[in-house]
Amino acid sequence: MYYLVANETTAVNYGQGDLVVTYSRGYSRNNLVIDGGFEGFTCDDFCLTESYANWIGSSPSGGTDDATIFHFQPYAHFGESCALLGSAFGDDSDAGTLTPTQKLKTVVGQTYVVQVFFISSFSGAQLEAPAKVDILWNGERVGGTSGSVPSYTFTQSSTVTGTGSDVLSFVGGAAPAWTFLDDVKVFEV
């Protein structure tokens, strides 16, 4: 994952007092997704929403809560919040769409990968068998997951090319074949 040469420009701690970092041995990669862990959505205990400042969940016509963001630590991969595709209350079996509110500020012609963690185990292996989520980059499928996934599993898209203003979406879920996702990242490669 970390294959760019590190130097003083990649330091995340520039030093204290007269101590200055000159040869950094590590760096922090820039994730283009704002709040890929959904931690910007909070409440006191357990709550969910279709949209908030950083993400928009939508349902097809006639669908209900087919893409939602949950604040409930037991559902999250890391932190307190995550997203769910599939009608949150089981009202329908439609696929939902989850998209960041802002287009990704990529560099034209630069290549990127989408990384995310998925889990499809809430209903058990038999009911989760038809679970499916597609990762879309500007409307084109570039990866995803399908079937029962018993624990949060890392998934990476194929390499994509930036246009300068790209749209990332996750489409899927069909209650009771729900899929949770968390820790969404887009990195330059």
The pLDDT tens digits for 26-78 are: 667 899 999 999 999 999 899 999 999 999 999 999 999 999 999 999 999 99
Q: Closest Cα partner for 92 from 74, 70, 65?
A: 65
pLDDT surpassing 50 at residue 2: no
Domains of the chain: residue spans and CATH: 1-29 (no CATH), 47-188 (2.60.120.260)
Residue 14 binned pLDDT confidence (cut-offs 50, 70, 90): low
At 105-136, the pLDDT tens digits run 999 999 999 999 999 999 999 999 999 999 99
Q: In what order do the strands lie in the sheet with 132-137?
A: 51-52, 55-58, 96-100, 168-172, 132-137, 140-146
Question: Which pTM does this prediction carry?
Answer: 0.85
For residue 1, name the pLDDT band (cuts at 50, 70, 90): very low
